[in-house]
């Protein structure tokens, strides 16, 4: 059961990260984006533990970018570029899910992320078996400092969002909250991704400019 939940959490985070990376790719100055690597569940009926997880072997220096310490406090490192992008991913997903889901453990090699851990604000969110932990969300809102990459994605201040009951619409914002309204109402990142469409399309329309209408011939 543990292995199934582990796979579900990491692959859910992977789907969110795909949308995040799609937005980041159209921003020239963002640089290499993050990738949550997939985890596969393997069934071994001959073993006493019939299920196991399989994932790619990451080569390089393995680092912990974000984690929960023994006291339950969220630790977010922000010294390197990858660490800052992890903080931005946490901010983005928090905003995309209306403050209901948070990535609390991010580890890996360079931009390849694995061993993902999550917290949910209320028990039962998206059918996850984790227990709701609203305190870590309060800590994240008070502790997170928006960085350069948060600015590139147009993410709004968490403190400002937390003080508003209904976030105001912001014309031209790249906020995932606004894109999510276009979706069909499902909280699944895959469904939202299909509804939102390619993030490159609006840029193409902007480059072409408004069409000029010809007046009637005299």
Q: Convert the pLDDT of each residue in 33-64 to its tens digit.
A: 999 998 887 777 777 766 677 788 899 999 99
Residue 159 pLDDT = 75
Closest-CA residue to 195 (of 204, 186, 205, 206): 186
Residue 150 pLDDT = 95
Residue 133 pLDDT = 84
Cα dihedral 141→164→175→185 (10° resolution): 110
Q: How far is the CA of 86 from the CAs of 19, 20, 49, 186, in angstroms?
A: 14, 11, 33, 25
Asked if the structure places residue 214 within a domain, the reply is no
Angstrom distance (rounded) from CA 149 to CA 30: 7
Asked if the structure places residue 72 within a domain, the reply is yes
Asked if the structure places residue 170 within a domain, the reply is no
pTM above the 0.75 mark?
no
What's the structural domain count of the chain?
1
Asked if the structure places residue 196 within a domain, the reply is no
What's the chain's Rg over C-alpha atoms? Answer: 20
Residue 160 pLDDT = 66
**Which residues in the chain come in under a pLDDT of 70?**
1-3, 49-51, 160-218
Asked if the structure places residue 204 within a domain, the reply is no
Q: Convert the pLDDT of each residue in 162-187 to its tens digit.
A: 555 444 443 333 444 344 444 544 44
Asked if the structure places residue 183 within a domain, the reply is no
Asked if the structure places residue 26 within a domain, the reply is yes
Asked if the structure places residue 30 within a domain, the reply is yes
Residue 13 pLDDT = 94
Residue 106 pLDDT = 95
Identify the domain containing residue 94 by its residue range: 2-53+61-164
Residue 84 pLDDT = 96
3-state SS of 36-54?
ECCCEEEECCCCCCCEEEE
* Domain harbouring 28, CATH code: 3.20.200.10
Residue 218 pLDDT = 47
């Amino acid at each position: 059961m543990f292995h199934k939940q582990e796979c579900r959490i990491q692959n859910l985070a992977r789907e969110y990260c795909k949308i995040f990376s799609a937005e980041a790719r159209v921003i020239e100055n963002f640089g290499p984006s993050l990738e949550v690597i997939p985890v596969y569940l393997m069934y071994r009926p001959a073993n006493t533990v019939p299920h196991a997880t399989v994932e790619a072997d990451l080569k390089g220096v393995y680092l912990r970018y974000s984690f929960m310490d023994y006291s339950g406090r969220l630790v977010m490192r922000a010294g390197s570029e990858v660490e800052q992008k992890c903080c931005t991913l946490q901010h983005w997903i928090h905003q995309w899910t209306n403050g209901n889901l948070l990535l609390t453990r991010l580890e890996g090699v360079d931009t390849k992320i694995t061993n993902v851990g999550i917290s949910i604000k209320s028990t039962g969110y998206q059918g996850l078996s984790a227990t709701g932990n609203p305190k870590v969300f309060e800590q994240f809102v008070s502790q997170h400092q928006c960085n350069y990459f948060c600015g590139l994605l147009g993410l709004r201040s968490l403190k400002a969002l937390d003080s508003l009951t209904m976030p105001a619409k912001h014309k031209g914002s790249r906020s995932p909250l606004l894109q999510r309204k276009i979706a069909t109402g499902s909280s699944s990142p895959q469904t939202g991704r299909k509804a939102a469409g390619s993030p490159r399309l609006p840029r193409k329309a902007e480059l072409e400019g408004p069409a000029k209408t010809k007046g009637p011939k005299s």
